Structure 1
Amino acid sequence: MHTTLKEEWDELENSKLGPLFRFTKLEFNWASKVAQIMLKAVTEPETVNTDEMKEFWRKLGVNEKLGPSIDELIAACKWAGEWSREDRLRLGFLAVYAGFIDAHKSSTPTRVALASQVMDLEKFENYPWGRVAFKTLIDSVKNADVSKPFGLEGFAEVLQVWVYYAMPRFGEENGDPRPNNPEPPLLAFNGIRGKRYVIGTMKKQVLFNHMVMVDRADVYPR
């Protein structure tokens, strides 16, 4: 996709969603064990249902009643080279939305009410995507059955980064930190280093950032 959007990539990286584009360059090493151990509502906007939206969905090869899946967006890259600059930017933004914010299975349609906001590029860029991503992730965590392998939806990698940030010694030993402590914290780690003894290392952690004691009933809210 980077090749398809090479003329727009710099602009996308410098947008308000830029950290997510830069995050893709890290080839972040996801460790599901970290998420399993460390286990504001957002009102969806009205679906954009204009002729322009329907035409763009037709270009994507997507049913206008659904949001594009990751697989459909990848496929669209094959014929997006001749699209207008605005449509190529839309494709890039939708890739971030589908891949990190909604982040279901690659074949699962995204939510059309949110995906269709891409028809207004400025509105899409300024939408509170952080809230959407975290709500999707937290809902997924709350519904996870930790007694068996499970997959998380939403921007699951940020949960792993949060663990490294909240438990700095664990982050230093297992998070494969990047040099010079880059900002934001999302870009400060490469993923996981030393997959053995992860549980033991985490249990030995004694130094925490921003630890707040809560009632036991609130530890695993439903």
Structure 2
Amino acid sequence: MEASEFPQRLYTKGGEPLPDKSISYYAGDYRLVPSLRQALREDGWADIYESLLGVFLKFHDLDFGWASRLVHHMLTFQIVCNQRYELHSLIVTTPVRFSLHEFEEITGLNCGYVNDLALADLEISDDMRVFREQMGVNMELGPSTFEIIEACSNCSSWSRDDRLRLRYLGIYAGFIVATETISPKNANHARLVVDLEGFKEFPWGRIAFKHLIKSVKEKDLSKNINIEGFVQALQVWVYYALPDFAAEFGEPLPNDPNPLLSYKGSRGRKNVKANMLKHLLSGLGSCEKQIKLLSDKVEAVEHAVEELTTGTAKHTDEEVKDNVEPS
């Protein structure tokens, strides 16, 4: 497909915002996981760690290297996309998509469909009232990451289930819808934690993706920005989409089928853009040679057929065969 057939670039080629501005994030606040681990001690930690939502804890334990420039370049390569919850980047002539499908493949989270994703009609149960009073937060607002961290230091007398609820709230606030530490989170989603099994089965992957991509599309990449949500998934997406580049720059880890846990990431890499393009140009060069070779053969065959059809052919059968059959 010719490059001109793709939609218009989001930024004019050569006029993309330079990656001298930082992309910061709130996901995985450095105080959160140690606080939650301490709050739970050892009881219940393994159950959470091996659940679907435990992928965030495993990712945190990797000490993944955030590469702002890499994500910045991928976002400036965007082409215009009318889909509200998708973005597409054009690397040379190769389009790369980031949608709910890719997010689900990368994270392994439950991204299933539910009719009421916002839980608009969820009532406040008596158990929820008791739990929220124990936490000391406003009933009408969702807890902030800061309030969850504070509660971790005061929960030693809580029941095991309430400490598990606090842990899951930490994952929700600190990774799934990660925002500024002091900002309250969605109250309806927080109320779901009273039902521990229901909370674990809820499609949090869909919530996480929606929150992340909305934040990305609202940002001006010419400025220093903070992206809400689990932004590290965007960097893993680059490695997932460009495996040759990832093999050299993503510090791949062996034996983990989950893409989110397959890389250590990278810090301080220079010439990121050039190397991203190099790993695709190397591939395209070979393709272009093959296309040129096939085009030459087709042209020769068409010429031979034309001469035979018009009766002016002077070629032997062997000469025509040489033109038709690939060498």
Q: CA deviation at 1:65?
A: 0.9
Counterparts of 1:66-105 in structure 2 under 5 Å?
66-105=141-180
Say which is worse superposed, 44-53 or 60-69, in terms of deviation: 44-53
Equivalent residues of 1:48, 1:117 under 8 A apart: no
Conserved 8 A contact 1:38-1:163? yes
Query: Is the 2:66–2:267 Cα contact (8 Å) retained in structure 1?
Result: no
AA paired with 2:265? G
The answer on 1:19 being equivalent to 2:42 is no
1:136 deviates by: 0.6
- Partner Cα separation in structure 2 for residue 48 and residue 200 of structure 1: 53
**Structure 1 position 182 matched with structure 2 position 256:** yes
**Distance (whole Å) between structure 2 residues aligned to residue 26 and residue 48 of structure 1:** 38
Structure 2 CA distance, aligned partners of 1:14 and 1:122?
A: 14
Distance 1:59 1:107 in 2: 19
Amino acid at match of 2:260: L
Q: Percent identity?
A: 43
- Equivalent pair of 1:66/1:110 in contact (CA under 8 Å): yes
Farther-moved stretch of structure 1 (41-50 vs 160-169):
41-50
**Alignment match, 1:204:** 278
1:2 aligns with 2:77: no
* Structure 1 unmatched ranges of 5 or more: 209-222
User: Highest CA radius of gyration, 1 or 2?
Assistant: 2
Question: Which whole-Å CA distance do the structure 2 matches of 1:48 and 1:151 have between them?
Answer: 33
- In structure 2, C-alpha distance between the alignment counterparts of 1:121 and 1:104, rounded to whole Å: 23
The residue aligned with 1:172 is: 247
**Aligned partner of 1:21: which letter?**
L
Residue among 39, 43, 67 paired with 1:31:
67
d(CA) in 2 for partners of 1:48, 1:184:
36
Q: 1:170·1:202 contact (CA, 8 Å) conserved in 2?
A: yes
Q: Distance in 2 between matches of 1:106 and 1:192?
A: 25
- Unaligned ranges ≥5, structure 2: 1-35, 76-84, 86-112, 285-327
Tell me the equivalent position of 2:231.
Answer: 156
Range that drifts further, 48-57 or 71-80: 48-57
Quote the Cα distance in structure 2 between the aligned partners of 1:119 and 1:51.
10
Larger mean Cα displacement after TM superposition, 188-197 or 18-27:
188-197
- Give 2:248's aligned amino acid: E
Q: Secondary structure at the match of 2:226?
A: coil
* Cα shift at 1:103: 0.5
Separation in 2, partners of 1:166, 1:3? 37
- Aligned-pair CA distance for 1:183: 2.3
Identify the range of structure 1 (54-63 vs 193-202) with the bigger mean alpha-carbon deviation. 193-202
Instruction: Let me know the Cα RMSD of the aligned residues.
Output: 1.9
Looking at structure 2, the residues matched to 121 and 129 of structure 1 have their Cα atoms a distance apart, in angstroms, of 14
Q: Which amino acid aligns with 1:22?
A: K
Give the TM-score taking structure 1 as reference length.
Answer: 0.87
Distance 1:37 1:113 in 2: 36
Aligned length, in residue pairs: 207
Deviation digits for residues 65-100 of structure 1, max 9, x if unmatched? 111111111111101122111111111111111111
- 1:49 aligns to 2:124 (yes or no): yes
Deviation at 1:110, TM superposition (A): 0.7
Query: How big is the shift at 1:193?
Result: 4.3
4+ residue segments displaced more than 4 Å: none
Moved more, 17-26 or 110-119: 17-26
Question: Deviation per CA, 1:15-51, whole angstroms, max 9, x where unpaired?
Answer: 2212122112112222222222222797301344122
* SS state at 2:140 partner: coil
Q: SS where residue 81 of structure 1 aligns?
A: coil
Partner of 1:38: helix, strand, or coil? helix
Cα pair distance change 1:168/1:194, threshold 3 Å:
farther
More strand by share: 2
Task: Say whether 1:114 aligns with 2:149.
Answer: no
Indicate conservation of the 8 Å contact 1:174/1:193, yes or no: no
Q: How far 1:128 sits from its partner (Å)?
A: 0.4
Instruction: Look up the equivalent residue of 2:71 and give its one-letter code.
Output: A
Shift of 1:181: 3.8
